[in-house]
Structure 1
Amino acid sequence: MSEWKALTDESRARWDQVAGFWDDYMGEHSNRFHREIVRPATERLLEVKEGDTVLDIACGNGNFSRRLADFGAQVVALDYSAVMIDRAKQRSTSYGDRIDYQVADATDYEALLAFGAERFDRAVANMALMDIADIRPLTSALSRLLKRDGVFVFSIPHPCFQSPNARKIHETEEINGQIVTRNSVQVTKYLTPESFETIGIRNQPVPHLLFHRPLAYYMNLFLSAGFVMDGWEEPSFELDADRASRFDWYELPPAVIFRFRKR
């Protein structure tokens, strides 16, 4: 068994274990991070139009798949966790045939091609590529699955600020009679791709695997596959005085969202 296959199998097994916990936590509207950081920027870059056919990769419980369908898109949504797909189907009974949920592994090039060459106007992956052990098959497949001028939009934790062992720091200091607070991140690793265990939601049953890659890895991979990058956002939260007493992502972006276009 190859290293990539072993990592994919281990990752899938862990997501099957945490799928129910994540679905219960995210619910119908997902969490603040998705609603305020990921979703607005993704929607701006994706520019879904009524009648578009969209591939939703690593769809989880289908929150964004349903939103795409609400915009008038025909959606094919895949995830390698059968438990997640079952949860997504349960939440999507009112959508009929507007969303086609499939259990599929994004590291399986041939399985991806089976969805149809030049079928999709758009493809999207929300906070997912960092969960996939090997994204090279997906990149190659997307160059065939997308129509000419089709776009792929994906978000990941910002690797500059959420690299392995990154340390979040919240400091309070009195300066000339004023209390000043600062948030910062201490980073000791960035350039070397690696996998590690992580907790996405506190108290989830088991840690899942995350695959760190520097920005240049993503850029070079998609550019070499014939894509051009024509969109990029680094969103952060708007300052919230009620949360100023602890670390949060205000002037530091916790995620980065790319748009690559097929040429």
Structure 2
Amino acid sequence: MSEWKDLIKDSHARWEENAELWDDYMGYESNRYHRELIRPYTEKLLNIKEGQTILDIACGNGNFSRRLAELGANVIAFDYSEKMIERAKMRTKEYINQIDYKVVDATSYEELSELGTEQFDSAVANMALMDIADITPLVQSLHKMLKPNGVFVLSITHPCFQPPGVRKVTETEERDGNVITTNSIQLSKYLNPEPYHAIGIKGQSSPHFMFHRPLSYYHNLFFEDNFVLDGMEEPSFQNVTDKFDWLEIPPVLILRFRKR
């Protein structure tokens, strides 16, 4: 089983419960992951042009929606958390005429269909698909919503290097008179899709659901719905600021699928 429709309501309730904490934590500038990894490489793959209409999926508190507007795009942004959309509207003053925030459930064909047909030059979902219990409706709807040759750029936690149960390992050894510290990861499973609980921010009142899917699942789902993969980035941090460095292990994966 790779889609978990029975967990949709519970997943939504958990995000509603944690929405205000996430908004407070992300603020106007978002966190280091978004600033250094997600935003620059997503912008590169989107290749945003002034006047384009872009769909921001699972927009959260609107951080990237505002960035898209700053770059000259007209944005339709949605999230299934009512509280997140309320916070996004509160944080959006300068670009309010360029951004239309909506409460839409990405697992609902009916709600997605109301966004229109061939309305968008491109679409984006930042660090979201691994939080959505059923992504099939979204992928199938995207092909209808995008204009000819339109693209969808998505970022997710890297499924190869951050599956459920992954362990961070730090080893120290003496080598040629020097003490060498090596960071690595240890994992024992990858291929089987799996839902699991995760804590994204310390202090959140309850863990939210994440849904592990191997790369082949994502690729095959998009290929079956007439998309081609024509862009990919695996960014890593260039400066170490914590005990575990990610210089050689990319924590996120960014893909660009193009409608054909």
TM-score range relative to shorter protein: over 0.9
State the match for 2:69 in structure 1. Answer: 69
Distance 1:199 1:172 in 2: 28
Aligned equivalents of 1:39 and 1:170: distance in 2? 29
The corresponding residue for 1:179 is 179
Query: 1:167 is matched with which residue?
Result: 167
CA RMSD of aligned residues (A): 1.1
SS, match of residue 37 in structure 1: helix
Q: 1:250 maps to what in 2? A: 247
For 1:222 and 1:54, the matched residues in 2 are separated by: 19
Unaligned runs of 5+ in 2: none
Task: List 4+ stretches of structure 1 deviating above 2 A.
Answer: 3-6
2:57 paired with 1:57:
yes
After TM superposition, list the pairs within 5 Å mapping 1:211-250 onto structure 2. 211-240=211-240, 243=242, 246-250=243-247
For 2:150, the equivalent position in structure 1 comes to 150
Matched, 1:43 2:40: no
CA distance in 2, matches of 1:262, 1:237: 31
Deviation at 1:68, TM superposition (A): 0.2
> Partners in 2 of 1:229 and 1:127 — Cα distance?
18
Q: Which amino acid aligns with 2:57?
A: I
Q: How many residues align?
A: 258
Residue type matched to 2:229 in 1? M
Query: Which has the higher mean CA deviation after the structures are superposed, 248-257 or 167-176?
Result: 167-176
Q: Does residue 188 of structure 2 align to residue 188 of structure 1?
A: yes
Q: Distance in 1 between matches of 2:197 and 2:96?
A: 37
Give me the whole-angstrom Cα distance separating, in 2, the residues matched to 1:42 and 1:152. Answer: 10
1:200 Cα deviation after fit: 0.8
Partner of 1:20: 20
What is the alpha-carbon distance in structure 2 between the residues aligned to residue 18 and residue 217 of structure 1?
A: 28
Kindly indicate whether residue 259 of structure 2 is the aligned counterpart of residue 262 of structure 1: yes
DSSP 3-state at the match of 2:86: helix
Distance 1:37 1:197 in 2: 24
Q: Quick one: distance in 2 between partners of 1:146 and 1:99?
A: 18
TM-score normalised per structure 1: 0.96
> Cα deviations across residues 24-61 of structure 1 (Å, max 9, x unaligned)?
11110011111111111111001111000000000000
Identical aligned residues as a percent = 61
In structure 2, distance between residues paired with 1:182 and 1:41: 27
TM-score normalised by L of structure 2 = 0.97
Matched, 1:139 2:139: yes
Shift of residue 96, structure 1, vs aligned partner: 2.2
Query: How far is 1:93 from its partner?
Result: 2.3
